[in-house]
Copies of this chain bind each other. A is one copy, B any other.
Amino acid sequence: MAWVDDTNSILLTDLYELTMLQSYFAEDMRKDAVFSLFVRRLPENRNFLIACGLEQVLDQLANLRFSEQNIAFLRDQNKFTQPFLDTLKDFRFSGSVHAVAEGTPVFENEPILEVVAPIGQAQVVETFIMNQVHVQTVSASKAARVVAAAQGRAVVDFGARRMQGADAAIKAARAFFIAGVDATSNVLAGELFGIPITGTMAHSYIEAFEKETDAFDAFIRSYPDTVLLVDTYDTLEGVRRVVALAERLGPSFRVRAIRLDSGDLIELAFKARQILDDAGLSQVQIFASGGLDEHVIARIVAAGAPIDGFGVGTAMAVSDDAPGLDIAYKLCAYAGQGRLKLSAGKPILPSRKQVFRVEQDGRAVRDIIARDGEAQPGRPLLRPVMKDGQVLADALPTLSESRTLAASEFARLPEAVRSLDPATPPYPVVVSDALLAHQEDVRRQVGA
């Protein structure tokens, strides 16, 4: 089947990246360029984004190669000269990257990463970098809201079936975990990233048996401590069948939880809890799924419904209220000179930059986007992660470390920014005077 993998991912690029690469070769332009990856405006429904996907970017840059087969395909397009195609055999990424750590909350116009490399190298990786950071940042940013709404209750990713393709299914599971989701149902994401995997049972399993009770009996023969799905026919009747099962099995009853997947989850949870508690089954937890998003979960939590964990599918899987980001990867310097475009409504901050997060009493109060090298108050967020094409030693924390960082950084955001409602005013991001002056200088020079 047609897949993207290490043998062809270099061609996961817009054609113009390659035609520009050839033109830079033809014009002998190989001075260093600075490209900045940032989101121009936050989506309406997001007070912050969680930067994610750096590991895949660095992996790609460190291993960038055109294979014989890649080159042969390009040759067949009749757009490339043989001298240019010959250079592709030895094409490597030799530049440097500064980036914010995965899991860091970022805001509009703040660089998520900046690439410094000979212009062709820095240009040709644009599409890939954007693609991988986009999907993971979209996913982590949505998941952070879901996790916040759950207020410490377990959140499990049930989304693989409705994610946008196979790569999203594993990369989003990774991003969700960084953002605080506890586990995934996606087996492959578990294998590839070491994320805890979990699962319950489907309605189809229940339906395959003549009676719901028979299905429960059969499933616990294989999985005594499983989660039983109780809403296939009549939810509360299903709960009573679990109670009957407990009575039949006595001390060997080890069912861990029931799952509700339809109906009024709040009302059903209260009633199911009562039935379980009345039967002395207070240890049996209640897990809910079915149409959940951060708002539904917040209502459930606010109602005090006795639900111990949430399986979240489509809404988180596709980030339904903000599926796309206005993410851009823009040239901001070439040959040591700041560059920008003047296109309407799309301002660029030229040259290498740093983002400082200013905190008071352990709470972030504003960010400052400054020129690289400027002294500013606050913590600098961008740090070197790649030099001369090599990933730096401490550039890539483990997934658990990124998850811990994300939780800690999130906790330090102002309460209004952490809220599900739009923060008014939004979190303050200011551009330093020196960077504004530099922008003005560059603006006056370009466009002649």
Binding site for B on A (CB under 8 A): 1-6, 8-9, 11-20, 22-24, 26-27, 29, 33, 35, 56, 59-60, 63, 73-74, 77, 79, 119, 123, 126-127, 130-132, 134-135, 138, 158, 160-172, 174, 185-188, 190-193, 197-208, 210-212, 218-219, 221-223, 226, 231-234, 237, 261-263, 314-315, 317-320, 323-327, 329-331, 334, 339-346, 446-448
With contacts A340-B207, A341-B206 taken as known, whether A185 is within 8 angstroms of B334 at the C-beta atoms is: no
Bound together, the chains give a CA A37 to CA B307 distance in angstroms of 30
From B163, B197, B315, B331, give the contact of A204 (CB < 8 A): B331
* Copies per complex of this chain: 2
Does B185 lie within 8 Å of A14, measured CB to CB?
yes
From B23, B171, B205, B212, give the contact of A219 (CB < 8 A): B23
Does A185 lie within 8 Å of B16, measured CB to CB?
yes
Does A16 lie within 8 Å of B200, measured CB to CB?
yes
With CB as the reference atom, state the residue of chain B lying closest to A334.
B208
9 shortest interchain CB distances as A-B pairs: A233-B447, A15-B199, A165-B167, A204-B331, A16-B199, A164-B164, A165-B168, A130-B161, A4-B166
Instruction: Give the Cβ gap from A67 to chain B, nearest Cβ, in Å.
Output: 12
- 11 A-B pairs in the complex with CB atoms less than 8 angstroms apart: A5-B5, A16-B199, A20-B201, A24-B208, A27-B218, A33-B208, A130-B161, A131-B166, A162-B324, A207-B339, A262-B345
Instruction: Give the Cβ gap from A184 to chain B, nearest Cβ, in Å.
Output: 9
With contacts A4-B167, A164-B135, A191-B8 taken as known, whether A208 is within 8 angstroms of B339 at the C-beta atoms is: yes
From B2, B318, B334, give the contact of A170 (CB < 8 A): B2
Bound together, the chains give a CA A12 to CA B103 distance in angstroms of 25
Instruction: Give the Cβ gap from A128 to chain B, nearest Cβ, in Å.
Output: 8
With CB as the reference atom, state the residue of chain B lying closest to A9.
B166
Does A59 lie within 8 Å of B191, measured CB to CB?
no
Chain B residues, Cβ within 8 Å of A262: 343-346
Instruction: Give the Cβ gap from A65 to chain B, nearest Cβ, in Å.
Output: 12
Chain B residues, Cβ within 8 Å of A447: 212, 232-234, 237
Bound together, the chains give a CA A119 to CA B207 distance in angstroms of 11
Bound together, the chains give a CA A219 to CA B17 distance in angstroms of 13
Does A14 lie within 8 Å of B161, measured CB to CB?
yes
Does B222 lie within 8 Å of A19, measured CB to CB?
yes
Chain B residues, Cβ within 8 Å of A16: 185, 199-202
Does A131 lie within 8 Å of B13, measured CB to CB?
no
Interface centre among A161, A186, A326, A446 (most CB of B within 10 A): A161
Bound together, the chains give a CA A1 to CA B223 distance in angstroms of 34
Bound together, the chains give a CA A198 to CA B160 distance in angstroms of 32
Bound together, the chains give a CA A330 to CA B212 distance in angstroms of 17
From B9, B131, B185, give the contact of A1 (CB < 8 A): B9
From B15, B77, B165, B448, give the contact of A132 (CB < 8 A): B165
Bound together, the chains give a CA A287 to CA B348 distance in angstroms of 24
Bound together, the chains give a CA A52 to CA B416 distance in angstroms of 42
With CB as the reference atom, state the residue of chain B lying closest to A290.
B343
